[in-house]
Chain A
Amino acid sequence: MNHLNDEILNKYIDNELSDKELSDLNDHIKNCDQCLNLLKAHRLADHHLKKMEISSPSSDFTQRIMQKVQMVSKPFKPKKNYFFRFVFSFMLLLALGIVIFAFANMPSAASEGISVNEYLLEGVSHFFSGYENIIKGRNASIIGSVLSFIILISVYFIYESHKNFKSRLDKLG
């Protein structure tokens, strides 16, 4: 075997020598003081590198960091699901619109000369008959298409949201 070089010394330290290379090395250093010294010095260097000491910052370091964190931090906004908020608001507005539309076309209770209870009952039946008129004929297909579209989009986002949730659970696991 040739004299030990950098590559062999580092492989020795990193336990990357094969059994054959290790046995050759051991045979070689029995008869070569120069390489034995090299190996001893290399091992000593590695030994002391492994024993490097961990240093610590001043004792109030964490406290000082946390004070600065409070100063620089914008209030954290947890991630909000704006899509569901949008769909919910849209549905609510749609429902309100339909109710207002139905009641707006009704004559007032005073002009009819009836009690409030009768007026409300009349209003509800008027509302449903108005609704029935709205969803008749061509309107029905337009409303149906819009609602189907909204439902499809919602289902897609619910699926995406579920997928994200699952992947976050997997990461935690």
Chain B
Amino acid sequence: MKSLTDTEIIESVNRGNQGDYSLLVDRYKHKGFSLLKRMLRNNQDAEEVLQDSFLKAYQSLQSFRGDAKFSTWFYRIVYNSALSFLSSKRKKLDNDLQSIEDHLELKDSDDHIYAESENVKQYISGIIEKMPEKYAAVITMFYLEEMSLDEISKVTSLSLVNTKVILHRARGILRELILKHNYQEELL
């Protein structure tokens, strides 16, 4: 059976078939959760913010005009909700300062993650979990959601150049750590 497109589901929900919204929830909950888990680093917070995002999306569904893809629109809600959640949890820091602090935190965590990891896969997963939230968001959307840099820049409201810089820096951080621990000889 041909599965319904996002637009068809939205039209059905807007016609009053509320139950059809569960199709969209099922379609986007895993990837939305993966994105939030990496940004918030906590399963419970990730679930809470994802739930909030789905409710916000539902309440605004009638205003969704279909100019952009639903996924881009929805991830924008998820991303902004995550940032609001983070800023309510901690005193808002200047973005640059925050990046530096996060980067230092990553370096501090490195020894601990390295000691705990049994192999390179576990080590890299551990490092990805500790990436600063904007880095985590960009690499998750790029690799997991297979979104283009253009789409990611629309979701995050970062310029295309900054989005690309973040992606390259994230790869660079991993590369340096791989070299530090001499993992590069591992077979792909």
A residues lining the B interface (CB < 8 Å): 6, 9-10, 13, 37-38, 40-58, 61-62, 64-66, 68-70, 72-73, 75-76, 78, 171-172
Contacts and interface: CB of A to CB of B under 8 A. Distances in A.
B170 to A, nearest CB: 8
B59 A72 contact: yes
B29 A10 contact: no
A13 B21 CA distance: 38
Interface string B17-43: 011011001100111011001000001
Contact of B16 (A38, A64, A68, A76): A76
30 contacts: A10-B171, A40-B184, A40-B185, A42-B175, A44-B175, A44-B186, A44-B188, A46-B171, A48-B121, A49-B139, A52-B140, A52-B144, A53-B125, A54-B34, A54-B144, A55-B34, A57-B29, A57-B47, A58-B47, A62-B29, A65-B25, A65-B55, A66-B19, A69-B55, A72-B55, A72-B58, A73-B58, A78-B16, A171-B7, A172-B8
A42 B19 CA distance: 46
Interface SS majority for chain A: helix
A163 to B, nearest CB: 16
B18 A41 contact: no
B183 interface: yes
Nearest to B35: A55
Interface residues of B, number: 52
Contact of A66 (B21, B124, B168, B175): B21
Contacts of A40: 184-185
Contacts of B139: 49, 52
Contacts of B97: none
B7 to A, nearest CB: 6
A62 B18 contact: no
Contact of A57 (B7, B16, B50, B58): B50
Interface string B170-188: 1110111011000111101
